[in-house]
Structures are given as structure tokens and as C-alpha cells.
Amino acid sequence: MTQRSFPPLQPQASSTRAPSTSRRRLMTGSAAMAGVAALEVLGFPSIVYAQSDKIRIGHLTPRTGFLGPLGEYAVMGISLAVEEINATGGVLGRPLELIAEDSVNPSTASSKAQRLLERDGAVVLIGEISSASGLAISQVATRNRRIFVNTGCNSDELRGKNCSRYMFHVEAANTTYVKACGGALLRDNMIKGKKLFGLTADYAFGHDLLKAAKRFVTANGGSFVQDELVATDATDFSPYLLKIRQAKPDVVVSNLSGNQITNFIKQYAEFGLPYPIAGFALDTALAWGAGADNFAGIWPLTWHHEVPAPAAQAFVAAFVKKYGRPPENQAWGEYVALKAMVQAMAETKGTDPAKMIEYFEKGAPIEVLKARKGSFRAWDHQLLQEMYTVRPKPKTQVKDKWGFMAVDAAVPAASAALETLAPTREENACTL
Amino acid sequence: MELVFLLEQILNGLLVGGYYLLLALGLSLIFSLGGIVNLSHGAFYAIGAYLAVELTKHLGFAGALVLSPLLVGLLGVLFERFLLRRFYSADPILGLLLTFGLAMVAEQVIRMVWGAAPLPASIPPAFKGQVVIGDFLYSRYRLLMLGVVIAALVGIWLLLNKTAFGRVVRAGVQKPDMVAVLGIRLQPYMTAIVVLGVGLAALAGVLFAPISGVHPAMGAEIMTAAFVVVVIGGLGSFWGVVIAALLVGVVRGVTIHFYPPAGEASMYLLMLLVLMFRPRGLLGERIERFD
């Protein structure tokens, strides 16, 4: 998909300076000034933009490739949030303007992030699903001292070794997903003393997730008897399914990602193997793509459109009204991220990143469309929040093609602190 | 005991290879006669799958299996008549650019019409479940797929080898100038071959829809494998493509049995090996176009 990338644009600030200084050498007085003025009007939108009273929001997420299906929901989610804010008069008396871009891959994401901040003057960057692109965007944001809110990258390392004062994580960490789903598996007696067979996406995300999964399973008395790496472009799982049948495990665990999950669920149903399945990461759209007939197992989610919280249901109603279908968890991520940033701007009465960071680090409560409010943890900027697990609904309760997942009670239990799911200081090497 | 599982993978590989055949054969046919490397072949596969999802709602899976390839075949008529036709005698790179661009346009159109999220599609109820023979387990649906693939294969072989149509096509592949001298216009034959080729791609799309994700990029996803098969088999060779497809399936299955991380890479290694010793692919020497 690299063919759709664009060459990195020259930072506009430097290109305005270069011609104007050379002109001053050649021309004198008012003629030179007039020339500069003309240049500004004709070719340099950054200067025109600077006079605008709009607050620009930069959004980056993959729209093409194997994460594209989720990126579409991301854009829908943030567009709805922007529309709602503007309908109530914007923030600080100024309307929001959204600039959404296809991040494509890490190098394109990086150059587009640079352009959004420098030329378009975006006050904050939101988005991304690929952890590699997320890291690239974070580096640009940090260099420019502007905030980047990660809405879809799960990698532990992004909030660990690679953490940044300017990066906030609405998306849960891989470790959090593993603990959320692992809790349900422990309760159902699917880990202690059990033989697990793992299928793992063969790239940074999958390896990171497998590491977290192994740590949890081993600590709780289970073992991975076999774990197989699966190339991200694999579409046929039959050789893996034959291997699973050969290994006769107690549980089959997915550490897969993107379309792999859809293909795996469909073909697992097709082969009808008797071993229960579970996964340590899922996006609702991927399960929707597998369909009610094929969906099986226990999976973790940050959010699902049947979460009973009133705020969640208001969001779902608005989303269905605008797009004619329920929101996916990625749409939730962008919606919550944008609303949180707007809240910080309103509370700090400006768009100064330093003040907004301070506001969040003091533990400001954030509406995350769940029963309990969330807040960013000061030392790694991870959003502390409730998580969910889903499993197939009994066939008789399935109302439509979106509603075939039963949502278990949120974890951790209301009596436990939200911290219990997040990576601990031991698990997370972040120093801000 | 280990041997049983290895045999299982080999047998499975043979079956899986059969599915690549439908795509690779169409690709090979269009190249043989028209000299066009159709990079938009995957787009027709994707359109076939999407039409199948829509048609299944109204006509059932059997209806979709018949109608979707026919509709895509109609698209193929337009494709050949208004686009491909201008490029037969042009620089091959132009044909590549055209079909590459078309693939991107098609992917975006699919995204605009159906959205980017994968669509659900399920195995027809009659073909759910497994067949167990001794220690070997297989899904009934894949046996159906295999049946369709074999029927298509036999059909195409008979068409090419036992009919007047096939004789003209084969002559056109070998000596187009001679065919023209004999007063036969190859144009309508080319239209038919394109319709057949993209129809086969659509048929593959219908068959794959219930067992793999139906999403806009599915065409691009499957194309690599199809091209590898055609290159290994040798451009323009019917049996070369058949052998290569089976070989790719088997090599992939066996690699996954012993060393899964190299599963997808194994077919590229196989391609490398074959090209080192036979630069035109296994059975590709009959094509004279590149001489």
C-alpha cells in the first residue's frame, strides 16, 4: 500500500523564510515588502491559517491495508465528536476543525504528523492503530512539544520504553488486555494446569502480546505447549488448524491481529475443532466480519456498543443516527480522546500543551462512556479504565447482525482499583 | 505417528493449492493470448466475493455461486472492450500501469459502496461440518470447493483442447500473425478469454467468501500468491500452473508443519529456486513472446 504515500512536504516555515530573505537582498524598501506580502497571500497557507480562529485537530490512522477496516470507524468516531462540540459552540468560543489523514505506514505517518503540526498548526494529534506508526507520530509530537493521544496502539513498549510526556494512551496496553481476558479464563478454569496452544501475529504487536500472555499464563499455573507465529498476510489457516488437532491442547489462544482474527475465527468454525478458544486482543469489527454463525470463545474489549452505561448508550444513539450502524470500539477511542482534549482545553482555558499535560497528570476524571470514569496515570500517561470480555450470545438472544456478543460484567470489580489491570511499574519501564 | 501428520499436511496442501488455481489460470490465460499481465485480477476476485455476499441474501449460496461469476464476466466484457483493447500492441508497461491503477480504483469503489469493515459471510448450512476418514479430518465445505475447482479445471481443459474455440485460442497464443493471415479475427476470442479469466477469479471470490475475510483489500492480499503460482508454473502453461499451484500448497503446508514463521515466505523461496534453474518457470518454455 506504499504507493499511496506522499513525499514528505518541506516544512512551510523554512520555505517562507528562504525566498523572503533572498528577495530582501535583491530588492529594496517597499517593493520587497510588497513581494513578500504577495507571496504570503498566494502560496503560504500556514500564515493565513495562523489568523484563523479555528482550533485544528490532526487525526492520523491507517485507512488502507490490513488495519484499514478499523481506521474507517476511527474517522467516524472523531468526526461525530467534532460535530457535537461544534454544535454546542466549540471550545473557548472557537470552533474545532478536523484534518484527517491516512497514516499508511510509519514513515508516511511521521511526515504527515510533521505537516499537520507545522503547516496546519494542529494543536493536538489524535489516532493511530499500528504501534510502529504510533511511535513515529509520538516522536514528531514530542519534538514539536505537542500532545499526541494514542487511540489504538496496544504495544506495551509504546507506554514503556518508548513513553513520552507528550503521549497519552486511551487504548489499553497489551498487558491490560491479557489481564482482563485472563481473569475471565481463570474464573472459567481455563488456565491453571492447562495446556495452551497459541497463534501469534508475526510482527511487533503480536510478539509484545505473546510476551504479556506468557507472563500471565505462567504466573497462574498454565503453560503454552506450543505457540506458532503467523505471517500477517496469511489468509489460509488450515495448516495451523491441523497442527492444533495434532497437539490436542486444552485451550487455543489467539494473539492475532486485524484480518487474521476474522480469518481464524471463520476457519476454526469451519474445521469444527473441539478445543475452546480465547483471544488476548480483539476489535469488534473483526468479530462482525466473522459473523454470528462463526463467532466463538472469550475475548477482551476496551468497549462494546452494548455497554449499559447511560453515556455509552447516548453515544451509540448519536452514532447510529449519523451512520446507520453501531459504533465499533475504535470509534469509541477517538470519540473519548477528542472529548478529553476538549475538556482539558476548557479547564486550562487555552491550548497550551504544558498546561493540558499538567491537568491530566493531576488525575482529572474523564468521561470514558463506562460505568466508572477514567483518568490518566501520571507516571506513564496510561488511561486507567474498566475493561470488558465478550463471548457469543445464545442464538435466541441475537437481535441483529451487530448484536451477537454478550458483554460480561466490567473488570475490575467495582470494589477493586482501576490500577489492578494496568501494567505495574515492574512491567512497565516508563520514566517520564 | 509424525508421518501421519506430515501426510495430512501434504494432502491438505494439495487441496489448498487447488484454490490458487482458479485465480492463477485466469491470469495465465489472459497473459497468454493478450500479453497483458492483469494486475487488476484480484479486484475481480474481490468483486466476486462482495456480489456473492449480496446475492446470497436473496438467492442463496448456490444462486450466488452461479450468478456472481456471470455478472463479473459481464464486467469483464466492458473491461476488455473499453480498456484492455487499447493496450495489446502497446508497451507492456502501459498495460501494467492500467491494470494496477484499475485495481486501486476498484478497491476504493468497494470501500465507498460497502465500507471498509469486513462483511460477514457463512458456509451454507448443507456444507457445514467435517468429514473424518481414518485419522484425516477435513471440512465438507472445502471438499465442495475442491469439486468446483476440479469441474472448472476439466471444463477449461476440454474447452482449450477439444473445441474449435480452443484450437483458435491455442493457435493465437503460439502464432497470432499466422492466425490473422488465415483470416480469423482474434478479437472476439480475446473478449471471451478475458470474460472466462475474470469469471474464474470471481468464482474463487465466491468460494473463499465464507472462509476468509470479505474486505476491500482482499484482492491485493490474494494476488501475490496467484502471481507466484503463475511465475513458478511458467507464464502461459496450463499444466505448469496446475503443478505450481499444488506445489505451492504442499510446500507451504510442510513448512508450517516444521517451521511456521516461514510459512508465507516458503512460496517465495520456492519461486527463487525454480527461477534459478528454470528462468521461465517449470513449463514455461513454449511462450515465444519474450524472445
Q: Which of A69, A202, A238 lies closest to B215 in CB terms?
A: A69
Residues in chain A within 8 Å Cβ distance of B214: 289
Can the peptide bond before residue B279 be classed as cis, meaning omega within 30 degrees of 0? no
Q: CA B162: distance to chain centroid?
A: 22
The pLDDT of residue A52 = 58
- The CA distances from residue B38 to A284, B31, B71, B88, in Å, are 35, 7, 19, 12
Residues in chain A within 8 Å Cβ distance of B8: 242, 246
Listed as own residue / partner, the contacts of B121-126 with beta carbons closer than 8 Å and 24 or more positions apart are B121/A291, B121/B49, B121/B52, B121/B53, B121/B56, B121/B209, B121/B210, B121/B214, B122/A291, B122/A293, B122/A294, B122/B210, B123/A269, B123/A270, B123/A293, B123/B210, B123/B211, B124/B60, B124/B61, B124/B62, B124/B210
Residues in chain A within 8 Å Cβ distance of B221: 66, 233, 235, 259
Phi-psi region of A104 (alpha: psi -120 to 50; beta: other; left: phi over 0): left
- Give residue limits of the domains in chain A: 24-172+307-384, 175-301+387-421
The pLDDT of residue B39 = 95
Is A238 in contact with B224 (Cβ distance < 8 A)? no
Nearest-Cα residue of chain B relative to residue A62: B116
Residues in chain B within 8 Å Cβ distance of A64: 217
Smallest Cα–Cα separation from A54: which of A119, A101, A120, A10? A120
Mean pLDDT of B264-291: 80
Question: What is chain A's Cα-based Rg?
Answer: 23
Distance from CA of B270 to the nearest CA of A (A): 17
Is A231 in contact with B118 (Cβ distance < 8 A)? no
Is A239 in contact with B117 (Cβ distance < 8 A)? no
Q: Which secondary structure element, helix H or strand E, spans residue A55, and what is its range? A: strand A55-61
Is B118 in contact with A267 (Cβ distance < 8 A)? no
Residues in chain A within 8 Å Cβ distance of B142: 238, 270
The pLDDT of residue B1 = 59
Asked if the A24-172+307-384 domain carries CATH number 3.30.1490.20, the reply is no
Residues in chain B within 8 Å Cβ distance of A240: 256, 260
Cα angle A265-B218-B189, degrees, rounded to a multiple of 5: 135
pTM beyond 0.90: the answer is no
Cβ atoms of B62 and B34 within 8 Å: the answer is no
Is B116 in contact with A63 (Cβ distance < 8 A)? yes
Digit-coded pLDDT (tens) for B214-237: 999 899 889 988 999 999 998 778
- The CA distances from residue A213 to A201, A218, A314, B201, B218, in Å, are 13, 8, 34, 40, 30
Is B256 in contact with A239 (Cβ distance < 8 A)? yes
Cβ atoms of B191 and B36 within 8 Å: the answer is no
Query: What is the rounded (10 degree) CA torsion for B231, B235, B236, B240?
Result: -40
The pLDDT of residue A16 = 37
Measure the CA–CA gap between A362 and A346, rounded to whole angstroms.
Answer: 16
The pLDDT of residue B285 = 61
Nearest-Cα residue of chain B relative to residue A293: B122
Q: CA A332: distance to chain centroid?
A: 9
Q: How many pairs of residues across A and B have Cβ atoms under 8 Å apart?
A: 133
Distance from CA of A203 to the nearest CA of B (A): 11
Half-sphere exposure (CA, 13 Å, Cβ side) for B150? 8
Within 10 angstroms of residue A48's Cβ, the number of other Cβ atoms is 11
Distance from CA of A68 to the nearest CA of B (A): 7
The pLDDT of residue A156 = 94
Q: Which of B8, B141, B212 lies closest to A263 in CB terms?
A: B212
- ipTM for this model: 0.92
Positive/negative CA dihedral, A343, A347, A351, A353: negative
Residues in chain B within 8 Å Cβ distance of A294: 120, 122
Nearest-Cα residue of chain A relative to residue B259: A228
Ordered alpha helix ranges (H), A51-130: 68-87, 106-118
Distance from CA of B165 to the nearest CA of A (A): 36
Q: Which of B102, B223, B264, B269 to mutate to test the interface with A (most CBs of A within 10 A)?
A: B264
Instruction: Say which residue the cell 507451504 belongs to.
Output: B252
Common-topology check for domains A24-172+307-384 and A175-301+387-421:
yes
> Looking at per-residue confidence, does B175 or B135 come out higher?
B175
Residues in chain A within 8 Å Cβ distance of B115: 72
Cα angle B47-B50-B55, degrees, rounded to a multiple of 5: 115
Q: Which of A270, A293, A395 to mutate to test the interface with B (most CBs of B within 10 A)?
A: A270
Helix axes A68-87, A329-348, angle to 10 degrees: 40
Domain A175-301+387-421: assigned CATH number: 3.40.50.2300
Distance from CA of A367 to the nearest CA of B (A): 27
The bridge status of strand A277-279 relative to strand A251-255 is parallel
The pLDDT of residue A25 = 41
Percent of chain B with pLDDT strictly greater than 90: 72
Residues in chain B within 8 Å Cβ distance of A239: 9, 12-13, 16, 252-253, 256-257, 263
Is B256 in contact with A243 (Cβ distance < 8 A)? yes
Nearest-Cα residue of chain B relative to residue A3: B104
Residues 6+ apart with CB under 8 A from B129: A272, B139, B140
Digit-coded pLDDT (tens) for B91-114: 889 999 999 999 999 999 999 999
The pLDDT of residue B8 = 87
Q: How confident is the model at residue B73 (pLDDT cuts 50, 70, 90)?
A: very high
Cβ atoms of A158 and A169 within 8 Å: the answer is yes
Within 10 angstroms of residue A145's Cβ, the number of other Cβ atoms is 13
Measure the CA–CA gap between A38 and B39, rounded to whole angstroms.
Answer: 47
Cβ atoms of A248 and A213 within 8 Å: the answer is no
Measure the CA–CA gap between B38 and B198, rounded to whole angstroms.
Answer: 10
Positive/negative CA dihedral, B288, B289, B290, B291: positive
The residue type found at B264 is E
Grid cell digits, residue B191: 473478449
The residue type found at B148 is V
Distance from CA of B168 to the nearest CA of A (A): 37
The pLDDT of residue B64 = 96
Half-sphere exposure (CA, 13 Å, Cβ side) for B37? 16
Residues in chain A within 8 Å Cβ distance of B265: 231
Is B115 in contact with A72 (Cβ distance < 8 A)? yes
Q: Which of A246, A271, A401 lies closest to B139 in CB terms?
A: A271
Q: Which of A66, A267, A270 lies closest to B217 in CB terms?
A: A66
Q: How confident is the model at residue B3 (pLDDT cuts 50, 70, 90)?
A: confident
pLDDT along chain A (432 residues), means of 10: 39 39 42 44 44 87 86 97 96 96 95 97 96 96 98 95 97 97 96 97 92 96 95 91 94 94 95 95 95 96 96 97 96 98 97 97 97 96 97 92 94 93 93 88
Grid cell digits, residue A188: 472459567
Nearest-Cα residue of chain B relative to residue A263: B212
Task: List, in sequence order, every residue forming a beta bridge with B119; answer none if it has no partner.
Answer: B214
Within 10 angstroms of residue A392's Cβ, the number of other Cβ atoms is 18
Is B263 in contact with A230 (Cβ distance < 8 A)? yes
Digit-coded pLDDT (tens) for B32-59: 888 899 999 999 999 999 999 999 999 9
Is B139 in contact with A230 (Cβ distance < 8 A)? no
Q: Which of B1, B211, B228, B258 to mutate to test the interface with A (most CBs of A within 10 A)?
A: B211
The pLDDT of residue A68 = 85
The pLDDT of residue A51 = 45
Ordered alpha helix ranges (H), chain B: 2-34, 41-78, 92-114, 140-162, 164-174, 176-181, 187-208, 218-233, 238-258, 265-277
Is A239 in contact with B222 (Cβ distance < 8 A)? no
Residues in chain A within 8 Å Cβ distance of B139: 270-272
Residues in chain A within 8 Å Cβ distance of B129: 272
Nearest-Cα residue of chain A relative to residue B127: A270
